[in-house]
Chains A and B, each alone.
Chain A
Amino acid sequence: MNGRFRIPRPLVESLATIGVGLVAGGLLMLVFGNNPLRAYRALFVGAFGSLEDVLETLAFATPLMLTGLTFAVGVRAGLFNIGAEGQMYLGAVGATFIAGTFALPPLVHVAAATLVAMLCGALWALPPALLKIWRGVHEVISTIMCNWIAFHLSTYLVIYFLTGAGRADSTRPALPTARYPVLFAESTLTAVVFVAVAFCLAVYLYLWGTRAGYELRLAGENPEAARYAGVHAGRAMLLSFGIGGLAAGLAGASQIIGRPPAWSLYATLGNVTTLGFDGIGVALVGRSHPLGGILAAFLFGALAHGGRFMEYHAGVLSELVRAINGLIVLTLAVPELWAITRRRLGR
């Protein structure tokens, strides 16, 4: 306000909610007889303790920034798209198929697997999009139903068509030509993180720098003004679902052709499940902004990676991290908290 450095309000609000979530999680730990301080110390050390840990945090952040983008682009268009789960599963299946079945030159193979994955994600976003546009079906119900259908469908496809020779618990691993190069030997971080960040950047430039992006945001901000401005509501929704599906599909690919050491999809889909829902928290903390989502994904990735360390060293189950995630989302739902927090921190 007068030249001094002032922390932007949205950042403060986001940090405040993370703080509240952590405190609430700590209380839960106490209730069940764990030591929250020890647990959080283990969490922090696990996430940031060494270079490998920071890189690993980035590896965890990669799919999250993308599934967060799915939800964020939905919010910007006035939609509640929680279909990243299902779109991601099918993206992973698509990537696995291309990566494990065909022999293609290295760059082409990686690109093909990535693009097919994104396409699969976008296609799975079509049913809820069309149901919304043609029949006005609320996307909360349709995307969740599609998530469950995708779960069973993907499991079926994996078990019946994609399992490796002699192993029934995961698919054939991606061929070496289809794998993203590993960046550092000691972590699971691969070059796919650059693709993810680039995609988020591209979406940001699209939403704020093009006419179609402006119209999408306007449709979400004020549908009646959007009509007045000649915006086609259905097109905006379709675009939002489409971008969201592409992002989720890419997230699915990142877990297969972008994540050693398995380079394959588990038959339980365990290496892709719940990442879609985690993305909701990422998007909200990132204020539904593609770039904010990258930062928020880093934080949530830290929680995820550190959580494992916390489980190992402090005996607190890493699932609690997801519970904390949920509490953060719950806190973010409350706008009054801003007013109170703002007043406490002074203006």
Chain B
Amino acid sequence: MGDHPAEAGTVNARGRRLLVAFLAAGAVALLAYALQRLGLNPLSLLEAGLLAMTPLALAAVGECLNEKAGVVNIGLEGILLISAITGVWAAEIFGNGVAGLMGGLVTGAVIGLVLGLVSVYGRADQIIAGMGLNIFALGFGPFLLISLWAFPGIHLFPEELMVPRLRTPLGGVSPVTIAAVAVAVLAHLLLHRTVLGFRILAVGEKPEAVDVAGVRVDRLRLLTSTLGGALCGAGGAFLPLAWFGGVVKEISAGRGFIALACVVFAGLEPLLALGAAFLFGFAEGFSYAVAVTPGVKERIPFYFVSMVPYVTTLVVVALVIGQRRFPRTVGRPYVRE
């Protein structure tokens, strides 16, 4: 069916961004080749990159929907941390990893809903509220770790509980990764091809118009907030259950904020956010691979390698930020009177 003419004006900008993304992907492929010459295995890099991409993509796509509706959630970091822990707990209770992922998803949805209620009905300053959530998680995370498993540092769980990876020609790919890509596509279709998406885009630009047309602004925003939280929660549970095999209180390591950078880079478009997540994920995977390569690991201390994801994010955001078109009311509560 017809395109939204609202996008007509931005087709050029989107085309340009897609081009940049493709060029970046091409540069990455070139890099992979160069690395192979250096003794690094590009396939294992890809595998690591896809794993690192997954939580970023899930959180970023969810937040894209949220910000399109005009709500900002910078508490993604906190949701990742708490859902990682509750996800493992759910996995242990129900005895399998998928249940754990569901547990993380539900945790994220609940937190997203609470933030949504606070933002919409409480007319909260959304950035402060999100920061409050992050600080809360900084304390509640370790508290949960001790309360659940009586050991403050790290909790390892039996390997049977992990979500197994699928064997593909590209290496071991987690089904959650595939799900993340599917989610990004679905989110794009939802936003640009359905009535619901039509209304979500409208409410981010001019909630008055939506209100006057008889559509509930608060319900739309609660929906996106909950959905965004759920996706982020799934991403959080992914970290221990489908990747690391254990949970520590630093497991989120700033990923929530890198996801925000993805959202900014993508101009709130889910497919571009997926691309950004891949870019940052690959940078992270790259840093791990480099760290253990003989010849490199003696010369570059691991600390500098650890900085790579953050420096990459800074550089990308600084270069690409330019003219980003955000919905007019992002972060501002809608008051009818």
Q: Do chains A and B touch in the complex (CB under 8 A)?
A: yes
Does chain A have a CB within 8 A of B143?
Answer: yes
A118 to chain B, nearest CB (A): 24
- Map CB proximity to A onto B251-270 as digits: 1 under 8 Å, 0 otherwise: 00110010011001000000
Q: Which residue of A lies closest to B146 (CB)?
A: A317
Q: How many residues of B contact A (CB 8 A)?
A: 45
- Map CB proximity to B onto A118-157 as digits: 1 under 8 Å, 0 otherwise: 0000000001000100011110111011111100110110
With A156-B301, A322-B135, A323-B143 as contacts: A145 and B118 at CB distance below 8 Å: no
- Map CB proximity to A onto B137-178 as digits: 1 under 8 Å, 0 otherwise: 111111100110000000000000000000000000000000
Is there contact, CB below 8 Å, between B135 and A333? no
Q: A153: which of B125, B303, B313, B318 is its contact (CB, 8 Å)?
A: B303
Q: Which residues of B contact A309 (CB under 8 A)?
A: none
B106 to chain A, nearest CB (A): 17
A28 to B58 CA separation, bound complex (whole angstroms): 29
Q: Which residues of A contact B317 (CB under 8 A)?
A: 131, 137, 141-142
Interface residues of A in 25-57 (CB under 8 A from B): 28, 32
Q: Is the interface of B mostly helix, strand, loop or mixed?
A: helix
Interface residues of A in 290-347 (CB under 8 A from B): 317, 319-337
Is there contact, CB below 8 Å, between B142 and A332? no
Q: Which residues of A contact B261 (CB under 8 A)?
A: 141, 145
Q: B313: which of A145, A322, A332, A335 is its contact (CB, 8 Å)?
A: A145
A279 to chain B, nearest CB (A): 10
Q: Which residues of B contact A284 (CB under 8 A)?
A: 128
Is there contact, CB below 8 Å, between B257 and A141? yes
Q: A280: which of B118, B123, B131, B301 is its contact (CB, 8 Å)?
A: B131
A324 to B140 CA separation, bound complex (whole angstroms): 9
With A148-B307, A274-B138 as contacts: A333 and B264 at CB distance below 8 Å: no
A324 to B317 CA separation, bound complex (whole angstroms): 33
A89 to chain B, nearest CB (A): 13
Is there contact, CB below 8 Å, between A323 and B139? yes
A195 to chain B, nearest CB (A): 26
Q: Which residues of B contact A336 (CB under 8 A)?
A: 121-123
Q: Which residues of B contact A320 (CB under 8 A)?
A: 139-140, 143
- A-B CB contact pairs (8 Å), 14 listed: A131-B317, A131-B318, A141-B313, A142-B318, A148-B307, A149-B310, A152-B304, A152-B306, A323-B140, A325-B135, A329-B128, A335-B122, A336-B121, A336-B122
A residues whose Cβ falls under 8 Å from a Cβ of B: 28, 32, 80, 82, 127, 131, 135-138, 140-142, 144-149, 152-153, 155-156, 160, 274, 277-278, 280-281, 284, 317, 319-337
B residues whose Cβ falls under 8 Å from a Cβ of A: 74, 78, 118, 121-129, 131-143, 146-147, 253-254, 257, 260-261, 264, 301, 303-304, 306-307, 310-311, 313-314, 317-318, 321
